[in-house]
Amino acid sequence: MSKRPLGCLFEIVETLVLTLIIFFVIQTFVAQPYRVEQVSMERTLEPDQYVLVDKLTPRFDDYKRGDIVIFDPPSTWAGGRGTPYIKRIIGLPGDTLQIRDGLVYVNEIALEEPYLYDGQPTVATGGEDQWVIPPDQLFVMGDHRSDSADSRVFGPVPRDRVIGRAWLRYFPLSTFGVLPTPTYPELAGTPGAGASSPAPGSPEASTPAP
């Protein structure tokens, strides 16, 4: 009789350990929930909404223009304070990106950006208004351009600092839905219009949710 409680306890501990291992693997390599904290992605994403971040598919289907991504801001950016940011990819490796007359130009073509907060113009908030995006880096901006610290200030983000692609808004339930990636037909046929650099291993802000 004394062995049965010990056996039951062992099974419970074994189940808990296995559950923790599975949870760790999923959070690290597959998907992770994040809570949006600031206003830089309004009205696409509002503060206190929760999104599910896809860490798996970018390994074989690399980030595209228009994707919403979670990333660690550059270590040289003092405003980051170690908190992940959430922004939209606007420039891909090899792009020449310029801000002028309230618009974003990619390779001399003005982008159509219907997701912008109240259709507000885009202005250069740092000391530059033109960038050539280096290999393996991404130029990101918030949809609320007048209230977003982004690549206009700290420059393009190295790809290895990107945590994953936000693809599902799941809370509040009234906002549940997949986050669409916009298309940019005006860029069709231009270099770099489709995708960014190959994924490694392939043939403002958000915090991890509890």
- Is 4 strand, coil or helix? helix
Q: How many CB atoms lie within 10 A of CB 199?
A: 15
* Known catalytic residue at 202: no
Secondary structure, 3-state, 169-186: EEECHHHCEECCCCCCHH
Active-site residue (options: 40, 196, 197, 206): 40
Active-site residue (options: 64, 87, 196, 206): 87
In the chain the first and final C-alpha atoms are separated, in Å, by 40
Angle at 51 between CA 47 and CA 52, to 5 degrees: 165
Give the H or E element holding residue 206. strand 206-208
* Known catalytic residue at 40: yes
Angle at 139 between CA 69 and CA 49, to 5 degrees: 25
HSE-CB at 186 with a 13 A cutoff on CA atoms is 12
With tokens 């009789």, the residue in question is 1
Measuring CA to CA, how many Å separate 178 from each of 29, 45, 61, 68, 146? Answer: 20, 12, 17, 11, 26
Query: CB of 121 within 8 A of CB of 103?
Result: yes
Q: Which residues are catalytic?
A: 40, 87
